[in-house]
Amino acid sequence: MPVGAQKAIIDALQECLFCRIVRREIPAQIVHEDEQALVFKDITPQAPTHLLVIPKKHLGSLSASTDGDALLLGHLQRVACWIAESVKLSSFRLVTNNGKGAGQSVDHLHYHLLAGRPMSWPPG
């Protein structure tokens, strides 16, 4: 296999999964989309309602955000509230993991919107 073809395969495998979902290269069960955010069902749900709220802009994690991302971060949380209201959730958990040690498995900022079962504390 030519070196260029090998590099293309490696680049495709390393590309962000959620960015590929945003571009519709990978299917997802999308429940909301606007100019800044995408919300879709988690493929390994940990609760009866388990949605992922992501920015369309690639941010590797919450700590990768800057002061310039403050409006986007607030928008993501408001989107989570709108989704919860639209499906009549009276209570829910919204959580993000930052880094591998905290359980972040995809290097793209995402919030888990969880509901439909009792949530224990501490969560981890």
State the DSSP code for 68: G
| Domains of the chain (ranges, CATH numbers) | 3-115 (3.30.428.10)
pTM of the model: 0.87
Predicted pLDDT at 9:
47
Predicted pLDDT at 3:
64
Please give the structure tokens belonging to residue 32: 């909301």
pLDDT tens per residue across span 55-69 = 999 999 999 999 999
How many CA atoms does the CB half-sphere of 105 hold within 13 Å? Answer: 5
State the DSSP code for 85: H
Coil vs helix vs strand at 38 = strand
How far, in Å, CA of 10 to CA of 84, rounded? 38
pLDDT above 70 covers a percentage of the chain that reads: 88
Residue of 50, 58, 108, 110 marked active site? 110
pLDDT band of residue 122 (cuts 50, 70, 90) is: confident
Catalytic annotation present for 110? yes
* Residue with token string 């959580």: 95
